[in-house]
Structure 1
Amino acid sequence: MSLQSAVVLVNSAVEPDTLTRVSDLDEFFASYEYSGRHERTRAELDEVRALRPVLRELMLAERDTAVEMVNAMLAEAQAVPRLVRHEPYDWHIHACDPDADLVTRLRVETAMAMIDVIRTDEMSRLGVCADDDCDGLVLDLSRNRSRRFCSTTCGNRNAVAAYRARQSDTA
């Protein structure tokens, strides 16, 4: 879930930007069931917006570079993994204090999620949308590794374009 929320956060920067108001951040916070401190201020929103390119760089990095980035993120936050339980989840891992600022928690949770991606050599599960006009991230969790587009919108746009190209070829 942390990895999926990080991809959504990064993709919120792809035009049109969908993280421009504090209420947008509130919705993101609630939809991914984050716990802990949330200031609901413009300053917090600006910090989260500034985190997006850092997370994008991490998720598209080569494996060794991603390792260095994850280790630096966790060290900077003085992350100490611990088991916690809160609604609606049973025991799971948090690596920073719930009173830490939202940006720190987002950075650490993404780094923790990337540990498993790196450890299992699954960096190929992360990529850029196959739509020529889109820079969105794709998290491919499909069994057959077939996901190519960041959203249904991009997938549909390309399916329609391919259909029209086939129709014009037969005409």
Structure 2
Amino acid sequence: MAAAVALVNAVTSAGGDDSAGAIRAILRDNEFFWQEFRDEDAEEFRRWGRTLRPFFTAARLEEATALLNRLMLEVPMHPHLSDHEPHGLHMHYAPPSSRLPDRFRATTLMNLADLVVDHGLGRTGVCAAGGCDRVYADTSRAGRRRFCSEACANRTNVAAFRARRRT
């Protein structure tokens, strides 16, 4: 989930960094085989980030599920069980022989689909902070997130507090 959010924000948000180095860092931070990333793969990742943005901005569940269903038909997927460190037994959605961009697409797509199945559309969106266009996916127990980061939440809450004090 975090990988999809990070890529969409890097590629589509104001001030995002969609350089090859930034994409490599997203892969590393989200435990993908980042060593396999080649600079010439960057444009495929950028396209995928732009493709996923409408999922986070969807106003209705039907819009989001239609997008995910269309993508599940387009993205080559071959789910299988894998047992390796540090994760133990878990699902992979593309075979290890697939190229890194294909494995990333399959994994992020299925992670978003799982989130929607488990929680509906209320756990994803665009940051509620004024002037911020970054997306988020809330995997917390409470599921009340509205901001992309604590910085945006704090900035918005401080501004609201100061506005209340002025009145």
Which of 23, 26, 43 aligns to 1:25? It is: 23
Contact 1:35/1:98, CA 8 A, preserved across alignment: no
Which of 155, 158, 161 aligns to 2:156? It is: 158
Q: Which residue of the partner structure matches residue 63 of structure 2?
A: 65
Contact 2:56/2:126, CA 8 A, preserved across alignment: no
Are residues 1:109 and 2:120 paired? Answer: no
What TM-score do you get using the length of structure 1 for normalisation?
0.83
Contact 1:37/1:102, CA 8 A, preserved across alignment: no
* Alignment partners' CA distance in 2, 1:111 and 1:37: 21
Q: Which residue of the partner structure matches residue 56 of structure 1?
A: 53
Contact 1:125/1:140, CA 8 A, preserved across alignment: yes
- 1:1-171 matches, within 5 Å, as 3-12=1-10, 13-20=12-19, 22-35=20-33, 38-41=36-39, 43-61=40-58, 62-169=60-167
Identity %: 32
Contact 2:5/2:136, CA 8 A, preserved across alignment: yes
What TM-score do you get using the length of structure 2 for normalisation?
0.85
Q: CA deviation at 1:29?
A: 1.2
* Alignment partners' CA distance in 2, 1:167 and 1:132: 19
Contact 2:135/2:148, CA 8 A, preserved across alignment: yes
Contact 1:79/1:108, CA 8 A, preserved across alignment: yes
How large is the Cα RMSD of the aligned pairs?
2.1
* Alignment partners' CA distance in 2, 1:129 and 1:36: 28
Runs of 4+ in structure 1 over 6 Å off: none
The answer for unaligned runs of 5 or more in structure 2 is none
